[in-house]
Amino acid sequence: MSAAETHLRERLAALPDPHHGGALGAEFVRAVGVDGTRVALELELPYPAQGWWPELEQAVRAAAQAEGLQAVSVAITTRVRSHGVQQGLQPLVGVRNIIAVASGKGGVGKSTVSANLALALAAEGAQVGVLDADIYGPSQQRMLGLSGQPESPDGKRLKPMRAHGLQVMSIGVLVSEDTPMIWRGPMVTQTLMQLLQGTAWDNLDYLIIDLPPGTGDIQLTLAQRVPVSGAVIVTTPQDIALLDAMRALKMFQKVSVPVLGIVENMATHVCSNCGHEEHIFGAGGGERMAREYQLPLLGALPLDIRIREQMDAGVPTVVAQPDSDLALRYREIARRTAAHLAQQALNKAIAFPKIVVE
């Protein structure tokens, strides 16, 4: 390797990554070819971030030009790997990473965040699925505009439903919307595991699990039996919501599931008439919680009538208005979530498969 290539690699590795707050790192530079004043670069990100690629390419070109290179060719790709899960568990077949979205309290918009987070990850270039784990009150089938029932070609596993490019499964597509699920805890947890393991997920980078509120049977089952790579906590700014969010956070910490960060929903209210924005539920609650537990604040979202209308119509914000300020906020949250997951240890069972000699 020439001195010019070595210097350029070092400069590129030191470029800042705004999504996890550190440097990009040497492993992101896959290939450097210098020929006189020309250079061809191949870069590979460990998380989906296509919305950031133009800005990154500009920074890479500037770094190359600072080394005296003028003709710069840049190719950027993404490779999402499987990350570590709870001890004793193996990754789910067809799924590289499971991200649990939890709140600890109802009414904070967790399901809305889950749906838009999944769509935002897909918009950034990932293969994404959604599992609605709220057996008593499923909502993803309405929010994502699903109709009909899933098929089972082999009579053993269900094909996931498809919505806006996502793979989706919910008890809501198996029963009518007005059917109450009058089940005790063991039946609920058994159903959750059947939905998770009995769905033929197809090559997913991320499966977003929309958890029901609280820290009861379903959450405990997920923490103990489902291979979760990371969790996202959704809260609103007021103290009561923060208390419940902290309980959810501590539950994941006790079972060794890394919390990737906090999303503050309904951080402000945007008036639909004049556009005035104000903190009707208090200000800075999510930021204080993130600071107290030394976690990243992944983003803050407003209480906006457009979000509610689009979810009720089955066309979430990220696909209904992909270029809107709201969609861009969700995409920034998605990139930060995936970037913080990419900082976690890789799953060694995937990296080093067992070799059997017969």
Question: Each residue of 323-339: b (16+ CB within 10 Å) or e?
Answer: eeebbebbbbbbbbbbb
Averaged pLDDT, 21-38: 90
**What is the C-alpha to C-alpha distance for residues 286 and 299, in angstroms, rounded to an integer?**
9
What's domain 3-78's architecture? Answer: 2-Layer Sandwich (3.30)
**What is the C-alpha to C-alpha distance for residues 145 and 314, in angstroms, rounded to an integer?**
4
Each domain of the chain, given as residue ranges in start order, spans 3-78, 95-348
**What is the C-alpha to C-alpha distance for residues 350 and 321, in angstroms, rounded to an integer?**
38
Q: What is the pTM of this model?
A: 0.92
pLDDT digits (tens, 9 = 90+) for 300-322: 999 888 999 999 999 999 999 99
pLDDT digits (tens, 9 = 90+) for 233-288: 999 888 778 888 888 898 888 888 999 999 999 888 877 788 788 887 777 788 88
Q: Which CATH number fits domain 95-348: 3.30.390.30, 3.30.565.10, 3.40.50.970, 3.40.50.300?
A: 3.40.50.300
DSSP β-ladder status, 128-132 and 204-210: parallel
Q: Is residue 20 scored above 90 in pLDDT?
A: yes
> What are the tokens at 119?
């769509």
pLDDT digits (tens, 9 = 90+) for 97-147: 999 999 877 788 899 999 999 999 999 999 999 999 888 778 899 999 998
Strands (E), 93-159: 95-102, 128-132
pLDDT digits (tens, 9 = 90+) for 139-169: 899 999 998 889 988 888 999 999 999 999 9
The pLDDT, as a whole number, for residue 351 is: 47
